[in-house]
Every structure is written in structure tokens, then in C-alpha cells.
Amino acid sequence: MTSLLTTSSRAPARDPMEVYLERLEERDRREQKHKKYIDAYQTLADKTAAIAKARTIAEREAAENAPKEAPETPAPDTKARPKWNYYPSYGGKSSPTPPPSASTDPAHIAQLRSDLAMSNQVRAEQEAELKAARAENAENKVIKAEQSRRIAEIEKQNKRLEHRVANTTEEVKKQRELAVQAQDEMVALQLELNAKDKEVLKVKADNKMLVDRWMAEKGEVAERMNKTLEKGQKKR
């Protein structure tokens, strides 16, 4: 009975699935706090893909618009004069004009620098997002381990409580059997007592009847003796 009271006084154990779902809801709420970072990361990824696509298209168009390689021509005549520009260099001689190169175009260089700066910025932001994601992943792993440990503890506690409940149930069953047995014994004793009472009443009735009969007989004897004495006195 003491173990039953002790078990009933404790707080009821919570369902492990309910605790697990609560932890999942907490994780979802925590992830909602970082939603703006996730959206920003997605936006940066889209921008990076758009820049890469635009760069690919620009390179393709530049390759298509570039002058095709001239067909092979016979060796130039050594006597033929090269094309000279009209701006004399040092020494009074003129120098050939080199063809313009795309790699030395200031606009192209500025575009490359802008793309490089944008790429570096995107990379820095992505590295920051990756660092935050790794930190959050590590935190989630710690939370998951804590949840697993807590679930294991709850399962052990449930097993202990189930064992106690089983013992208490067995004890209550035995006590109920003892109570039924005691009640049966009390009923049997009551029946036996009732039988004894009836027997006592019968004995008392028999004794009273015997006493009354004996008194009646003795009364008759005394009356006869009195009558005999009265007759004897009259004869005298």
C-alpha cells in the first residue's frame, strides 16, 4: 500500500513522442529566425548564377563577333614595304601599328575588375552563410544528441514506472484476494454463529419445557400427597 501511495504522488511521465515533437517545433521556430539569412543566401546564389550566365553569353557573343582567322597567305615579299603609321618615332623612323587587343581594352579590364569584386563579395557572403550553416548544423547535432539522450532516459523511466505499476498491481491483487478470503471467512463465521444461536435457543426452549413438565409433575405429586394427608386427618 505504501508503494502505491508513493507511485501515485509522483508526477505522471510525459510521452516521449510528445517531447520529441516539442523539440522539433522549437527547432523550426529557431530556423525561422534565420529565414532572412537563408533568403539572402538564395538571392546571392541566384545573382551568382545570373552573373555566370551573363558572362558565358558575353564570352560566346565576343567569340562569335571576333574576326575570323585570315586564310593562310603566301610568304610576303621581302622587298615589299610594311605598313607604317604616320607618326614618326625616335630616330625619325615610323613603327608599325599593332592591332588592338581585347585584354588591354580599359572597358574590358574595368568589367573584369567589377566581376572579380562581385565574385569576391559573393564568395565572402557565401563563406559567411556557410559558416553560419555549419554552426547551426553543429548546434542541431548537439540538440539531437540531447534529445536522443533525453528520450533514452524517458524510456528507462517509463520501464521503471511500468515495473513499479506491475508490482503495485500484483500487490493490490493479492490484497484483494486476502480481503475476499477474509470476507468469506467472516460470512462463514456469521453463519456458524447464527447456527449456534439457533441451537442455544432450542436448548433453552427444551430446558424450559422440561422444567415446566417437571414442575407440573411435582405439583401433581404434592397435590396428591396433600389430599392423602387430609383424608388421614379426617379419619382420625
Q: Cα–Cα distance between 223 and 229 in angstroms, integer?
A: 10
Relative orientation angle of helices 106-235 and 2-9, to the nearest 10 degrees:
150
Burial class (CB in 10 A: 0-12, 13-18, 19+), 47: middle
Q: Residue 92: left if φ>0, alpha if ψ -120 to 50, beta else—which one?
A: left
Per-residue pLDDT of the chain (236 residues; tens, 9 = 90+): 444 444 444 555 677 777 778 878 887 777 777 677 777 777 777 778 888 787 787 777 777 766 554 444 444 444 444 444 434 443 444 444 444 444 456 777 777 777 778 878 888 888 888 888 888 888 889 998 999 999 999 999 999 999 999 999 999 999 999 999 999 999 999 999 999 999 999 999 999 999 999 999 988 888 888 888 887 777 76
Q: Cα–Cα distance between 135 and 166 in angstroms, integer?
A: 46
* Domain-wise residue ranges, the chain: 2-57+118-190
What is the pLDDT, as a whole number, of residue 20? 78
What is the pLDDT, as a whole number, of residue 9? 45
Question: Cell for 8?
Answer: 501515485
Question: Cell for 182?
Answer: 477474509
What is the pLDDT, as a whole number, of residue 104? 56
What amino acid occupies position 211?
Answer: V
Q: In this structure, is the dihedral angle defined by the CA atoms of residues 112, 116, 121 and 126, taken in order, positive or negative?
A: positive
What is the pLDDT, as a whole number, of residue 12? 59
pTM (whole model) above 0.85: no
